[in-house]
Amino acid sequence: MTQANANDRRLTLALDALETLKGEDVKTLDVTELTTITDYMVICTGRSGRHVIRLGEELIKSAKEAGLQPGVEGLKGGEWALIDLGGVVVHIMQPVTRAHYQLEKLWDISAQPEQIQAD
C-alpha cells in the first residue's frame, strides 16, 4: 500500500470517528503542497470541554483498533486536542478556541495575499 493510500485510510478513520460523536463543522485541509509534516489536517469543533475530550477519546480508540499509535497533545484540558495519526493531524477545539486561532485561514493558501516580486 502506498503512503497516499495509507493516509487516505487514516483520514477516513478520523472522519468516521468524529462523525460517531457528532463533531461539528468538520473541515479537511489537503496540505501536501504546503508542508512536509502531514498530508491532511482535520479541524473539528466540540460543543464543550467534555465533548472535545470524548471526540478525542473516540478517535484514539478507533486509531488503536486500526493498529495505529496516535500522538496526543492537550486532550485532558478539553480546550484543544491535537491527535497525530501520521499523515493526518486532527485538531478538536471548543468554538471560542477555534474562532481565535482560525487554523483554516492559516493553512488556506488561496486566501493568502499574493507576494510582490521585485524586478
Return the number of other C-beta atoms located less than 10 Å from residue 74's C-beta.
17
Closest CA to 49 of 22, 21, 9, 76: 76
Q: What pLDDT is attached to residue 4?
A: 73
Q: Which fold has domain 25-110?
A: Beta Polymerase; domain 2 (3.30.460)
Q: What pLDDT is attached to residue 109?
A: 59
- 3-state SS assignment for residue 98: helix
73, β-bridge pairs: 82
Average pLDDT value over all residues in the chain:
90
Compare 94 and 106 and report the one with higher pLDDT.
94
Where exactly are the structural domains of the chain? 25-110
- Model-level pTM? 0.87
Per-residue pLDDT tens digits for 6-62: 899 999 999 999 999 999 999 999 998 888 999 999 999 999 999 999 999 999 999
Would strands 88-93 and 80-84 be described as parallel, antiparallel, or unpaired?
A: antiparallel
* Residue partners of 71: CB distance under 8 A and separation at least 6: 82, 83, 84
Would strands 71-73 and 80-84 be described as parallel, antiparallel, or unpaired?
A: antiparallel
